[in-house]
Structure 1
Amino acid sequence: MITRSSGYLARQIATTHWFLHLEDPLQAWLFGGVLGILVLASTIGAVLQQTAKSDTARATIDNLNARMRAWWKMCAIFALTLLIGRIGSLVLFALLSLLALREYVTLIPTRRSDHRTLVWSFFVITPLQYYLVGIRWYGFFAIMVPAVAFLFIPTRMAMTGDTEHFLERAAKIQFGIMICSYCLSHAPALLILRIPGFEGHDARLLLYLVLVDQMSDVLQYVSGKLTGRHKIAPQVSPNK
């Protein structure tokens, strides 16, 4: 099984190709829509920054412009993903998962006994998840983290003999793996879906994901500032 999987991955590397085909009208429209929204929002933010007078307005505009800069960076990463092919996309998103997981771990309290479990999370579970995506083993990559890893993490932690706040510590690591590795790995998985009659157009799915997510983020922020009266969860998201 491992030999066959390695051979398949080698063939994928040898036959990798560009995903970004702007001669495809729908793909060009999706790419243009993402770029157009960014340009329009960045222009509006620049104009508002020059006209804002009160401190509150300037703080709001600064927050909006910070969001736009973050979106430019994220869209640049997605564009790079579409240019470097399947294997390059997997490697890129795997690195992003590791960076996201590292950032997450710095925000949660951990004990010395958790370090070996975290090593497994970083250097075994996350790479294995992306390897399974790369060889298109959907049946396993869809359940590896929520089933196998979720059982392995508390088991490995129990082997250290440290039971203080055991469930809390295990749940935090499990949640980090789920969000940073499992969920994020579904983005490059869109590029390897086998949909009859849709061959060669996988990039449309990723572009559509980015477009919908971008519009959701921008529109909810703008509508909240224009029409919102009461903050739903001020302790969770004080700017909305």
Structure 2
Amino acid sequence: MSDLTHKLYYCFAAIFTLLIIASLIVFILKVLHPKRNWLELKQRITSWWIIIILFFLAMISPEWLALTFFGFMSFLALKEYLTLSPTRRSDGIPLLWMYAAIPLQYVWAGMAWYGMFIIFIPVYVFLFLPARMVIVGDTKGFLHSASVMHWGMMTTVFALSHIAFLLVMPHHLAGTGVLLVIFLVALTEMNDIAQYLWGKGLGKIKVTPKVSPNKTLAGLLGGVFTTTVLAALIGPLLTPMDSLHSLGAGALIGLSGFCGDVVMSAIKRDFGVKDSGKLIPGHGGILDRLDSLIYTAPLFFHFYYYFYA
């Protein structure tokens, strides 16, 4: 078994250990305080088990299957987004073209064809969708509908597909892409948790009270600090990055993760919903789990691509 494979299994062993501890804590709380309602907390832990197991299976699967997994995540995210977004009846065919673009984007990622990957959605899909909409001849709400489609493609497909490209990016060490994906996803989720805990413990000053009232300055700064320190510690162990670049990557993930969270919160408020869906019990919809990654994935990808690819 190679050193990279050992690192992969050590990572997931640590994650599963934390999940076991969390499950035990929930069990003890239910025994000590049986009259209190622990359903939401139990649902969250159960959902994390499902999420981590699926992610683990994707990471140890053949490359094509892992790419299919991430492509399916983009499909679910886009479907959930379009369910919330107001679109016109005349937009049926352009919407089908949006779904058809998903496998193509992941094919470019699987081929590691950076040139096509980076321009397919921002250029070709961007220009094609309104041109296809014009054929129908419906001009009422045209700009709004085109904007909804473009934003959906950029966030749920283009941004998230950077995780897939990170997985297959050519490296001087085979298999490094898997560890980079784990580094990105783990730190993004830890940043969310750290911001929540710092905000609950010390948060008084609201950062975005009209968008996300629970976001505080203490949560933001504490989350970024925690994520940066963790990145500096585990970055050199998991990835080809040195301590300095790992530190920079951690700060980038911490700040961009916060931005992704509040931007998607603003979109949900515009839609008039608290959660984007009910796919994951205790967590809301798929977009509620991927909101931070929409920002962290492309920014971390290009940070790493610039310095190491």
Partner of 1:225: 200
Identical aligned pairs, as a percentage? 36
CA drift of 1:29 comes to 3.3
TM-score (normalizing by structure 1)? 0.77
Instruction: Give the 3 Å change call, closer, same or farther, for CA 230–49 of structure 1 in structure 2.
Output: farther
Q: How does 1:91-106 map to 2 (within 5 A)?
A: 91-106=68-83
Higher CA-based Rg: 1
CA drift of 1:25 comes to 4.0
Partner of 2:109: 133
- CA distance in 2: counterparts of 1:104 and 1:38, whole angstroms: 29
The residue type equivalent to 2:123 in the other structure is: A
Partner of 2:191: 216
Once the two structures are superposed, residues 77-131 of structure 1 have per-residue CA deviations (whole angstroms, 9 ceiling, x without a partner) of 21111122111111222222112211111101111111110000012x1111011
CA contact (8 A) 2:166 2:180 kept: yes
| Structure 2 residue 163 is matched with structure 1 residue 187 | yes
SS of residue matched to 2:99: helix
The residue type equivalent to 1:233 in the other structure is: T
TM-score (normalizing by structure 2)? 0.61
Instruction: Give the 3 Å change call, closer, same or farther, for CA 140–112 of structure 1 in structure 2.
Output: same
Q: How does 1:1-240 map to 2 (within 5 A)?
A: 24-48=5-29, 64-123=41-100, 125-196=101-172, 198-234=173-209, 236-237=211-212, 240=215
Larger RCO (alpha carbons 8 Å, 6+ apart): 1
Partner of 1:5: none
- CA distance in 2: counterparts of 1:177 and 1:152, whole angstroms: 12
SS of residue matched to 1:136: coil
CA contact (8 A) 2:167 2:181 kept: yes
CA contact (8 A) 2:67 2:164 kept: yes
The residue type equivalent to 1:151 in the other structure is: L
CA contact (8 A) 1:49 1:62 kept: no
Over aligned residue pairs, what C-alpha RMSD do you find?
2.8
CA contact (8 A) 1:22 1:28 kept: no
CA contact (8 A) 1:34 1:210 kept: no
Q: Which runs of 5 or more residues in structure 2 are unaligned?
A: 216-309
CA contact (8 A) 1:90 1:188 kept: yes
- CA distance in 2: counterparts of 1:201 and 1:77, whole angstroms: 20
Bigger shift: 39-48 or 75-84? 39-48
How many equivalent residue pairs? Answer: 215
The residue type equivalent to 2:133 in the other structure is: M
